[in-house]
Amino acid sequence: MKRAALLLSLAAIACGAAPEDEAEATSTAAVGQGDVARMRVEVEVLSGARSESCAVSGLSSPGCRVLRSADERTFSRYAGSDSSQERLTRATGYVCERFGAALGVPCDVDRASGPRVVLQRFRSNDREQANILAIIPGTAPERPVTVVGAHHDSTTDSGPAPGAMDNASGVAILLELARAFATAPPAGTVVLAAFAAEEGQTHATGSDGSRHYVATLTGGGCERSGAGAMPCASRVGAMLNLDMLALPRLRRVGARLEPFPGGVPAGDHVRLFAKPGTEACVAAAAGDSVHQALGRALTVAARESGAGLAVRAGQTSDRVTNGFARFSDHFSFHEAGIPAVRLIGPQAVDDAGLNHSAFDRTSRPVGAYEASMADADQILDWDYLARASRLVMTFTRSLASGLTGPRPRVDGAVVSWDAVPGATGYMVALRKPRTDPNEHTVAPGDVLRVTTPQVTVPPGYRTVAVAAIDAGGLVGRLSREVLLGGVCTDLAPPACASPFTADCDD
């Protein structure tokens, strides 16, 4: 696959120009996207609907078959049964082998250099567990490390838990990222982490895999080079957590799967959960934290990805017990001061009622645990999954390889910055005052593109952030957001490696 860069047609905009037209915002250039058929097979294998040979040899191979017996569903990766250790072990081995195949390296061999796949073993819930870590060293290892994670376990109160949506969908995207970066290495190191033991009733009893990983990053055994599996936390610039980044086509109604009342839900956006900032910054900048700054950069990347998916800020104030962050592996990174967000599919993911049950599968049951592979019976929208992978690929490439955003200076309505070496243009993201601490995204019409390092901000805007665009058209990371009239310094983030923190070198 060619480099997933965004080839943008940059029009010179005079100072004071109005925000660009939304219709002109999306690049028409080819951007990396996961293969639909391959991702579907990976999810079907991981959720026990097809045999392993389907992913290795293809759907037409003699060994590829639909699994119709509950006893055959050995990849239903759930705890609470006598066979759960076997299931977890097999699933771990499978994901490790698929990572290795994507990167062209053996599974669980920690080589001194180059791409590698290693297992980080630990014990949780009275079972042997393992995080699977695929490391793609960057060509410029001094850059911040980017971690993209998705949990590979599933859970249920009783019976099978195939875990197709929660969270074989996220693991399938990780595997596509490995394939993409194997052919086009990033500038900064990328760690793809398939976490174990995420499932739990509370954060205190879940996310054990990501907590174990983060404990290594913050401990004495971390790697300061930024090129290994366990980079020190100060080297990690961002973490993206993919948890149920999918679109269900059917919903659970009692003991049946039925269409949604209005038909297949709209697959035009993803939801983003990010921990809000403090009240002082909320009042000044409508909600600003290092996590929301990461999410804000993602909203801009989404518009440029060509995936046809907007990013909507999800409500987090209903989850006070875990710091308004929503439960999942990104919270482990929050606790270490590492900017992290969770990506999830539309509200239909919640409304479908599939996860943590035997209904979280890829196709509607015809009989007791029998799988029909007819398209009409497909529970997940495979095209949505592929487009979601396109969005994640674009943003990961932006974080790992894009130019670092400049530091804006404010003089009234005029915002300027030092020219970034190698930049052919700049993207300026603006926001208006807001009162909702969860709302930190950038509206489609609130983006300017300029070719010179200065812009006059139109009336009505409160904050501004800037990204540099390189000669290949790749939009880099947004700078920290500054206020028109001052900078919110209330956050005082603990880590300085991240491009989403406030001034670290002042």
CATH number of the domain bearing residue 480: 2.60.40.10
Q: Both 217 and 352 in a single domain?
A: yes
At 31 the pLDDT is 46
**Domain of residue 317, residue span:** 1-30+278-322+403-506
Q: Both 379 and 410 in a single domain?
A: no
Do 502 and 493 meet the contact criterion of CB atoms below 8 Å apart?
yes
In a domain, 327, yes or no: no
pTM equals 0.85
Query: Which of 401, 433, 466 is the endpoint of a domain?
Result: 401
Q: Both 183 and 134 in a single domain?
A: yes
Number of domains observed in the structure of the chain: 2
Do 293 and 15 meet the contact criterion of CB atoms below 8 Å apart?
no
| 3-class secondary-structure state, position 284 | helix
User: In the chain, pLDDT over 90 holds for what percent of residues?
Assistant: 31
402: left (phi over 0), alpha (psi -120 to 50) or beta: beta
Q: What does the pLDDT look like over 440-486, one tens digit per residue?
A: 677 767 888 999 999 999 888 888 899 999 998 899 988 888 888 64
At 461 the pLDDT is 87
Q: Both 47 and 25 in a single domain?
A: no
pLDDT at 38 over 70: yes
Q: Both 289 and 242 in a single domain?
A: no
**Contacting residues for 409 by C-beta, under 8 A, at least 6 apart:** 415, 416, 417
Q: Both 242 and 286 in a single domain?
A: no
Query: Which of 355, 377, 401 is the endpoint of a domain?
Result: 401
Which domain CATH number covers 148?
A: 3.40.630.10
Q: Both 452 and 488 in a single domain?
A: yes
386 phi, psi to nearest 5 deg: -65, -40
Do 267 and 383 meet the contact criterion of CB atoms below 8 Å apart?
yes
Q: Both 157 and 135 in a single domain?
A: yes
Q: Both 422 and 491 in a single domain?
A: yes
Q: What does the pLDDT look like over 250-292, one tens digit per residue?
A: 888 888 888 899 888 889 999 988 877 654 444 444 445 778 8
